[in-house]
């Protein structure tokens, strides 16, 4: 759904409903009854959706919200929702396709009604909220309806919610659920409490500390309770940063597992102990190389080592392909071209640059193009057409 499609959707669903204010900004389309005055803060309901399912979800949800007579907003287009769900732009906003501002007395009833309506639909987890029903993409949290800013001691602007006795509560959404001390959860009747993630992952990996927090997935230090092994556990959250051609971050975690397995013999590359699922998320359990090995500088050095290893292995494959005559041409470094030319000179005892192998040797005919040919090609195609640091080996299979 493009931006134009978003406007068409709003017009199609909302066009027959007079007496409503509709305002579309760069991110959200806001819908509210004319003359409505929202309180400064209260309980919000968030509806989560994948970008691919957004249009269908809107067609189901909007009529219910219009009938309820409450204010709400939704992502203005599929492209916007895909950015919201990427886990990087705004991690605490992931999944928030719809935000509903119900009357205080209607929060519980509306939340349960929406959960019944949307049960079974997939959507990214909203990290800042609690879930109404574990099988429905309906979430809630306490927060500001309108922004009230306050300057922190370090100069940062904070959104502050004021309680009945003058208490202050930070209103900005974070990656963990929070609620003010003066409020009671409308769905569980519980007072404010500090909720943390699961202490045990995959049945036997006990989390000991956190290393990195991200909308796409966290990184933890953990201990395998079966044998006491210290591990690093990396998380990939379900349905976050979905791409049409590469899936979500879980697909990239699987690719990482395969790359690490291929580089298992390289110094400084962690060993893969386990790849498991906990809920809808996927995790990698890796060897803990110590605090120095997890630093940014060491990580860059490890990446450079991996690149060198990959390049060397590609070079081996390139030589094998060249020797078997599968390709008509293959880019070669200057050193390889010189070595290959020298080898052919020795094989054929020829003083020319072009060397033909005998029909019984099983080797293809190879021609090395040196600096003269490279300069001629550069003049013909322009200065940027040929890499001056490389030559080409032209390989013609035998007849």
Residue 233's domain comprises: 201-294
pTM comes to 0.72
Does residue 290 share a domain with residue 328? no
Of 277, 294, 311, the last residue of a domain is 294
Does residue 109 share a domain with residue 34? yes
305 occurs within a structural domain: no
191 occurs within a structural domain: no
247 occurs within a structural domain: yes
316 occurs within a structural domain: no
Residues in contact with 53: Cβ distance below 8 Å, sequence separation at least 6, in sequence order = 121, 122, 123
Does residue 166 share a domain with residue 238? no
Does residue 219 share a domain with residue 257? yes
Does residue 282 share a domain with residue 330? no
Specify the CATH number for the domain of residue 112. 3.30.2430
Does residue 119 share a domain with residue 18? yes
Name which of 179-188, 195-204, 233-242, 295-304 the model is least confident about. 295-304
Does residue 224 share a domain with residue 161? no
CA–centroid distance for 321 within its chain:
36
306 occurs within a structural domain: no
Q: What total of structural domains would you count in the chain? A: 3
Residue 17: its pLDDT value, please? 58
Does residue 259 share a domain with residue 133? no
Name which of 17-21, 234-238, 336-340 the model is least confident about. 336-340
- The answer on pLDDT for 112 being more than 80 is yes
Taking only the tens place, the pLDDT of each residue in 57-101 is 999 999 999 999 999 999 999 999 999 999 999 999 999 999 999
Does residue 344 share a domain with residue 276? no
Distance CA 129, CA 184 (A): 14
Does residue 352 share a domain with residue 281? no
Q: Which residue has the higher pLDDT, 294 or 89?
A: 89
Distance CA 350, CA 366 (A): 13
Does residue 133 share a domain with residue 21? yes
Mean pLDDT of 228-246: 93
162 occurs within a structural domain: yes
């Amino acid at each position: 759904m493009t931006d134009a499609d978003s406007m068409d959707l709003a017009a199609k669903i909302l066009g027959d409903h007079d007496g409503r204010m509709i305002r579309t900004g760069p991110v959200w389309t806001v819908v509210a009854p004319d003359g409505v005055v929202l309180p400064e803060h209260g309980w919000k309901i968030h509806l989560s959706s994948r970008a691919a399912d957004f249009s269908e979800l809107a067609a189901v949800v909007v009529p219910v919200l219009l009938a309820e007579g409450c204010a709400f907003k939704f992502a203005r287009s599929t492209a916007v929702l895909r950015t919201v769900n990427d886990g990087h732009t705004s991690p605490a906003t992931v999944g928030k396709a719809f935000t509903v501002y119900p009357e205080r007395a209607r929060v519980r009833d509306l939340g349960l009604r929406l959960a019944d309506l949307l049960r079974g639909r997939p959507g990214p987890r909203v990290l800042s909220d609690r879930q109404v029903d574990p099988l429905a993409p309906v979430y809630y949290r306490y927060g500001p309806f309108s922004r009230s800013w306050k300057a922190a001691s370090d100069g940062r602007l904070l959104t502050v919610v004021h309680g009945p006795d003058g208490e202050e509560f930070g209103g900005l959404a974070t990656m963990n659920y929070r609620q003010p001390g003066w409020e009671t959860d409308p769905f569980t009747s519980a007072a404010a409490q500090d909720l943390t993630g699961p202490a045990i992952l995959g049945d036997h990996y006990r989390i000991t500390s956190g290393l990195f927090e991200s909308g796409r997935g966290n990184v933890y230090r953990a201990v395998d309770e079966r044998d006491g092994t210290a591990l690093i556990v990396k998380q990939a959250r379900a349905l976050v940063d979905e791409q049409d051609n590469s899936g979500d971050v879980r697909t990239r975690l699987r690719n990482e597992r395969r790359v690490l397995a291929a580089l298992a013999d390289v110094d400084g590359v962690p060993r893969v102990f386990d790849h498991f699922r906990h809920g809808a998320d996927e995790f990698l359990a890796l060897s803990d190389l110590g605090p120095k090995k997890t630093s940014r500088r060491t990580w860059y050095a490890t990446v450079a080592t991996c690149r060198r290893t990959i390049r060397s292995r590609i070079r081996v494959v390139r030589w094998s392909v060249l020797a078997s005559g599968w390709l008509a041409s293959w880019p070669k470094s200057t050193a390889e071209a010189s070595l290959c030319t020298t080898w052919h000179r020795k094989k054929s005892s020829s003083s020319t640059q072009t060397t033909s192998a005998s029909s019984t040797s099983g080797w293809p005919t190879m021609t090395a193009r040196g600096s003269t040919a490279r300069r001629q090609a550069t003049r013909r195609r322009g200065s940027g057409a040929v890499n001056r640091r490389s030559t080409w080996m032209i390989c013609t299979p035998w007849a």
